[in-house]
């Protein structure tokens, strides 16, 4: 079974990129919550960054990363516990992609709509 350059390799690379991306958001979240101790002004100012359109686009990517990482993680766990599933890892990956698109498309639509509405109201 050729691994390099095929679904197995790309799903693994995406899993790592998504996992590290989520981890970076988690670290940022720890920083923002820690700022509560520095007083309300700094905390509120820092949270204001999250309303910036660029940040909100990154949040859409974060949701995509969480959906992908969670779904692909389930596929990896399935193969870990039931090795015969490795013979079907490609079809399982395609099922995973269908579920991913079904979850992410409406979510991204709602998030983009909220972003555009906020922009229309001046942020």
* Interface positions with ligand HEM (CB under 6 A): 12, 15-16, 19-20, 22-23, 26, 69-70, 73-74, 76-77
Q: Closer to ligand HEM at the Cβ: 56 or 75?
A: 75
Q: Closer to ligand HEM at the Cβ: 9 or 42?
A: 9
- CA-based angle 22:27:30, to the nearest 5? 125
Greatest Cα-to-Cα distance within the chain, rounded to the nearest angstrom = 58
Cβ-proximal residue to ligand HEM, closest one: 73
For residue 120, the minimal CB distance to ligand HEM (Å) is 33
Q: Closer to ligand HEM at the Cβ: 13 or 114?
A: 13
For residue 67, the minimal CB distance to ligand HEM (Å) is 9
For residue 78, the minimal CB distance to ligand HEM (Å) is 9
Residue carrying structure tokens 């988690």: 26
For residue 82, the minimal CB distance to ligand HEM (Å) is 14
């Amino acid at each position: 079974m050729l691994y390099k350059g095929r679904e197995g390799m790309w799903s693994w690379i995406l899993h790592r990129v998504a996992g590290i991306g989520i981890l970076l958001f988690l670290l940022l979240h720890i920083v923002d919550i820690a700022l509560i101790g520095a007083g309300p002004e700094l905390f509120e100012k820092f949270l204001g960054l999250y309303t910036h359109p660029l940040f909100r686009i990154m949040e859409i990517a974060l949701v995509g990363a969480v959906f992908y990482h969670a779904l692909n993680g389930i596929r990896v766990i399935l193969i870990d516990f039931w090795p015969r599933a490795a013979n079907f890892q490609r079809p399982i990956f395609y099922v995973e992609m269908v579920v991913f698109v079904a979850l992410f498309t409406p979510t991204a639509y709602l998030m983009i709509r909220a972003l555009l509405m906020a922009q229309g109201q001046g942020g």
